[in-house]
Amino acid sequence: MKPSEQVKLYLKANASEVIRKLGEDRQPVVITSHGEAKAVLQDLTQYEETQETLALLKILALTNKQVQDGKVDTAGNAFERIRNRHAKKT
Protein backbone atom coordinates (compact mmCIF):
# COMPACT_ATOMS: atom_id res chain seq x y z
CA MET A 1 0.00 0.00 0.00
CA LYS A 2 1.29 3.46 -0.93
CA PRO A 3 2.02 5.90 1.92
CA SER A 4 -0.46 8.36 0.38
CA GLU A 5 -3.17 5.69 0.68
CA GLN A 6 -2.15 5.04 4.30
CA VAL A 7 -2.67 8.74 5.08
CA LYS A 8 -6.13 8.57 3.53
CA LEU A 9 -6.96 5.45 5.52
CA TYR A 10 -5.76 7.05 8.76
CA LEU A 11 -7.84 10.16 8.11
CA LYS A 12 -10.84 8.07 7.13
CA ALA A 13 -10.59 5.87 10.23
CA ASN A 14 -9.90 8.81 12.57
CA ALA A 15 -11.75 11.64 10.86
CA SER A 16 -14.01 12.46 13.80
CA GLU A 17 -11.02 12.63 16.17
CA VAL A 18 -9.02 14.82 13.77
CA ILE A 19 -12.00 17.14 13.23
CA ARG A 20 -12.69 17.35 16.98
CA LYS A 21 -9.06 18.27 17.61
CA LEU A 22 -9.22 20.93 14.88
CA GLY A 23 -12.25 22.47 16.56
CA GLU A 24 -10.65 22.45 20.01
CA ASP A 25 -7.12 23.55 19.17
CA ARG A 26 -7.88 25.63 16.07
CA GLN A 27 -4.43 24.59 14.87
CA PRO A 28 -4.07 23.31 11.32
CA VAL A 29 -3.04 19.70 10.79
CA VAL A 30 -0.23 19.10 8.32
CA ILE A 31 -0.71 15.98 6.21
CA THR A 32 2.48 14.35 5.04
CA SER A 33 3.39 11.82 2.39
CA HIS A 34 6.80 10.17 2.29
CA GLY A 35 7.79 12.41 5.19
CA GLU A 36 7.04 15.61 3.26
CA ALA A 37 4.26 18.04 4.04
CA LYS A 38 1.70 17.79 1.25
CA ALA A 39 -1.50 19.38 2.53
CA VAL A 40 -3.02 21.31 5.41
CA LEU A 41 -6.35 20.58 7.03
CA GLN A 42 -7.85 23.41 9.03
CA ASP A 43 -10.96 24.34 10.97
CA LEU A 44 -13.65 26.05 8.85
CA THR A 45 -13.71 29.18 11.03
CA GLN A 46 -9.93 29.50 10.75
CA TYR A 47 -10.17 29.01 6.97
CA GLU A 48 -12.78 31.76 6.66
CA GLU A 49 -10.65 34.11 8.77
CA THR A 50 -7.67 33.35 6.55
CA GLN A 51 -9.70 34.11 3.43
CA GLU A 52 -10.90 37.43 4.90
CA THR A 53 -7.32 38.35 5.80
CA LEU A 54 -6.15 37.54 2.27
CA ALA A 55 -8.94 39.68 0.80
CA LEU A 56 -7.91 42.63 2.98
CA LEU A 57 -4.26 42.18 2.00
CA LYS A 58 -5.27 42.18 -1.69
CA ILE A 59 -7.17 45.44 -1.16
CA LEU A 60 -4.14 46.97 0.55
CA ALA A 61 -1.85 45.85 -2.27
CA LEU A 62 -4.22 47.32 -4.87
CA THR A 63 -4.40 50.58 -2.92
CA ASN A 64 -0.60 50.77 -2.69
CA LYS A 65 -0.37 50.18 -6.46
CA GLN A 66 -2.87 52.96 -7.13
CA VAL A 67 -0.89 55.34 -4.91
CA GLN A 68 2.35 54.43 -6.71
CA ASP A 69 0.65 54.99 -10.08
CA GLY A 70 -0.62 58.40 -8.93
CA LYS A 71 -4.25 57.34 -9.14
CA VAL A 72 -5.25 59.13 -5.95
CA ASP A 73 -7.15 62.29 -5.18
CA THR A 74 -7.61 64.52 -2.17
CA ALA A 75 -10.46 63.90 0.23
CA GLY A 76 -11.84 67.34 -0.59
CA ASN A 77 -12.09 66.50 -4.30
CA ALA A 78 -13.68 63.13 -3.55
CA PHE A 79 -16.35 64.72 -1.32
CA GLU A 80 -16.99 67.39 -3.95
CA ARG A 81 -17.65 64.69 -6.59
CA ILE A 82 -20.02 62.94 -4.18
CA ARG A 83 -21.87 66.19 -3.46
CA ASN A 84 -22.17 66.91 -7.19
CA ARG A 85 -23.56 63.44 -7.90
CA HIS A 86 -26.02 63.77 -5.04
CA ALA A 87 -27.15 67.22 -6.22
CA LYS A 88 -27.82 65.89 -9.74
CA LYS A 89 -30.08 63.14 -8.36
CA THR A 90 -32.30 65.55 -6.40
What is the number of alpha carbons within 13 Å of residue 52 lying toward its C-beta? 6
The answer on 69 and 41 residing in a single domain is: no
- Concatenate the DSSP letters of all residues of 29-62 into one string: EEEEETTEEEEEE--HHHHHHHHHHHHHHHHHHH
pLDDT confidence band for 7 (50 / 70 / 90): low
Whether 25 maps to a domain, the answer reads yes
Instruction: Find out whether 58 and 66 touch, Cβ atoms under 8 Å.
Output: no
CATH number, domain with residue 19: 3.40.1620
Q: What percent of the chain has pLDDT over 90?
A: 39
Instruction: Please say whether the dihedral angle defined by the alpha carbons of residues 15, 18, 20 and 22, taken in this order, is positive or negative.
Output: negative
User: In terms of residue numbers, what domain contains 23?
Assistant: 1-47
Q: What is the Cα 73 distance to its own chain's centre?
A: 30
For 41-75, what is each residue's pLDDT tens digit?
Answer: 889 999 999 999 999 999 999 999 999 999 988 89
pTM of the model: 0.60
Tell me whether residue 52 is in a domain: no
- Compute CA 11 distance to the chain's CA centroid, rounded to the nearest angstrom: 24
Per-residue confidence band for 84, with pLDDT thresholds at 50, 70 and 90:
very high
In this prediction, residue 83 has a pLDDT band, given cuts at 50, 70 and 90, of very high
Q: How many domains does the chain fold into?
A: 2
